[in-house]
Structure 1
Amino acid sequence: MKAIYDAGATLDIAITLKDNMAKSKSGRVYIDAFCEERSIPITKIRNINDPESIQAIKDAEIDWLFIIGWSQIAKPEILNAPNLGCIGIHPTLLPQGRGRAAIPWAILKGLEKTGVTLFKLDEGVDTGPIIDQWEIPLSEETDARMLYEQATKAHYAVLSRILPLLIDGTAELTPQDNRLATEWPGRKPEDGRIDASMTCKQAHALVRAVTHPYPGAFYDSAEGRTIIWKASLERTSPSDKELKLSDGSLFCTVWERCD
């Protein structure tokens, strides 16, 4: 939203989840203050495809609808409501990594790079033509919080670069090569379980992949459940909590006990 205004464009309407529905969403951002400062009308909804959403978009007579950060799939009536179409941003380099949990999977898969893709939405899931992409390098120390922050900055960067072209109508759309497409499934909190059969490298990747803002990696013992927010392959302090795994020990540096 800031990138749109910094590029000299404006928003005619903002649509977000009702407050009581959004409390459990990872990384939820409240847009009320931003909209109030700029006199942007806000519509709070339960589902993007609700009649009130469709009517609000039609009434605003907008050119482009940006659908960013939504887990709900927009149906054709929403996609066809704006004059020019709908634009999404997906935190992978499409067509790689279509689907959900893009940030954890990029770390778990040990990729050398990921990124964000700006694309025009169609009726598929992350299948529409690409408008622009921004790469993000990854390392063996990258964790979910770091990648989340880098992806947020990349959202701003790619939007800032492409908005002038959208405004003057010169942005080019490139169809995705479906032969290169991969799909990543959704993840549940239970998928953060560390099993003793894992290698240290696998467990370390899991800790990094599901740390804040996600629910965290964990293991269960007779003492209860321990959530690990940060770990190291080597001991860094006498207070590190040692976790025995199939090929050695993982050292938990930030953790908490759940009784």
Structure 2
Amino acid sequence: MRLERYFKKPVAILFGYHDMGCAGLQSLLEAEYNVVAVFTHRNSDSEEIFFDSVAGQAEKLSIPVFFPDNVNESQCVELIKQLKPDYLFTLSYRQELTEEITQAATFGAHNIHASLLPAYRGRSHLNWVIINGEKHTGVTLHRVTRQKDAGPILAQAKVTIEKHDNALSLHKKLVQMTRARLPEWLRGLQQGTLIERIQDERLASCPGARQPDDGLINWKKSAIEIHNLIRGITYPWPGAYTMAGEKKLIIWESCIKESFSESQPGTIISLDPLLIACGVGVLEVKRGMCGEVRDSEAGAIVRELKAHCGMLLV
């Protein structure tokens, strides 16, 4: 058991962003860590801001906040060393820390990753688990090492992916799970009661960051695959899309119909409800964006597209 718990609060630096960064800051304070600095990112004008600000939370608590373009530049490294942290924690932080930074902490650097490692390392794990039709995901506390998301695991918690979940609802579940379990894990880390276990590389996967073209719907795929893509990147993510002539249709919400069609995949086979033939099965479009209106129901989409039965989406 680490005796520093009984003499002083352990000094921590948080590298965090988004709702997960906020959950991390709240959990550190609940677990009685002395957070001496928060490193985060400025919001981008091109990004849909639907999440809380860890910078705003830290500033209300008079915790110094830094927004470095490159956290690994010498000025930042020296500042981190001067703060003499016991622990470093990363949650949804978009820059990788060099060993010079991670080794500045007496008891090392740790990360919360929103998947059940070693599965779904890297970026966009939230989206990929839905796109790939997984039934479970979770959050993992692990030690930071040279290989991204591959360090020894100290704790995990599983989250069920329900059929009705989309990227936003699953994101909220993962944040809630982190907020519920992280204080307990942080206390265990401080007391030395968490046992590290090496990740099994045979179970490792890293789908990689999503690219814009990943959202293009391939109607030759099955209705279930297309439905999973739609719910995996629905608003406030960019959304799965298709083309109707020169018009772009982003689909926010869909459902699978238990029916069969011999029509070419991508063919509109009904206007009310709006049904599209897939490689296997039929998909109903319930909500989407076509033209200037961000969120339209199927009837408005039909009118905007001037859709008709037999029209082909590509």
Normalization by structure 2: what TM-score? 0.75
Q: Which residue of 2 aligns with 1:245?
A: 278
Distance (Å, rounded) in 2 between the aligned partners of 1:73 and 1:117: 17
The letter of the residue matching 2:243 is D
3-state secondary structure, aligned to 2:209: coil
Distance (Å, rounded) in 2 between the aligned partners of 1:166 and 1:6: 14
Instruction: Quickly say closer, same or farther: Cα 1:28–1:86, change in 2 above 3 A.
Output: farther
The question of 1:174 aligning with 2:206 is answered no
3-state secondary structure, aligned to 2:110: strand
Which shifted more, 170-179 or 123-132?
Answer: 170-179
Q: For the Cα contact (< 8 Å) 1:65–1:85, is it kept in 2?
A: yes
What are the residue-to-residue correspondences of 1:137-176 with 2, within 5 Å? 137-176=160-199
Q: Which residue of 1 aligns with 2:288?
A: 255
Q: Which residue of 2 aligns with 1:222?
A: 245
Provide, for residues 166-204 of structure 1, a one-character-per-residue CA deviation record: whole Å limited to 9, x for no partner.
233333222112222222222112201112212111110
Segments ≥4 residues shifted beyond 6 Å: none
Give the deviation of 1:22 after TM superposition: 7.4
The letter of the residue matching 1:7 is A
Distance (Å, rounded) in 1 between the aligned partners of 2:179 and 2:96: 23
The question of 1:190 aligning with 2:198 is answered no
Q: For the Cα contact (< 8 Å) 1:118–1:158, is it kept in 2?
A: no
What are the residue-to-residue correspondences of 1:1-259 with 2, within 5 Å? 1-19=25-43, 21=44, 24=47, 29-234=52-257, 240-258=273-291
Q: Select the structure of larger CA radius of gyration.
A: 2
3-state secondary structure, aligned to 2:187: helix
Aligned residues: 256
Distance (Å, rounded) in 2 between the aligned partners of 1:70 and 1:59: 21
Give the deviation of 1:142 after TM superposition: 2.0
Give the deviation of 1:52 after TM superposition: 2.9
Q: For the Cα contact (< 8 Å) 1:94–1:181, is it kept in 2?
A: yes
Give the deviation of 1:141 after TM superposition: 2.4
Distance (Å, rounded) in 1 between the aligned partners of 2:49 and 2:199: 29
Q: For the Cα contact (< 8 Å) 1:27–1:213, is it kept in 2?
A: yes
Q: Which runs of 5+ in 1 are unaligned?
A: none
Q: For the Cα contact (< 8 Å) 1:108–1:206, is it kept in 2?
A: yes
Provide, for residues 124-180 of structure 1, a one-character-per-residue CA deviation record: whole Å limited to 9, x for no partner.
011101110010112332211111111111221231221111233333222112222
Instruction: Quickly say closer, same or farther: Cα 1:257–1:30, change in 2 above 3 A.
Output: same
Give the deviation of 1:255 after TM superposition: 0.4
Normalization by structure 1: what TM-score? 0.90
CA RMSD of aligned residues (A): 2.2
Distance (Å, rounded) in 2 between the aligned partners of 1:172 and 1:228: 45
The letter of the residue matching 1:38 is L
Q: For the Cα contact (< 8 Å) 2:38–2:55, is it kept in 1?
A: no
Instruction: Quickly say closer, same or farther: Cα 1:11–1:23, change in 2 above 3 A.
Output: farther
Distance (Å, rounded) in 1 between the aligned partners of 2:95 and 2:50: 16
Q: Which runs of 5+ in 2 are unaligned?
A: 1-24, 259-270, 293-314
Which shifted more, 115-124 or 57-66?
Answer: 57-66
Distance (Å, rounded) in 2 between the aligned partners of 1:23 and 1:77: 32
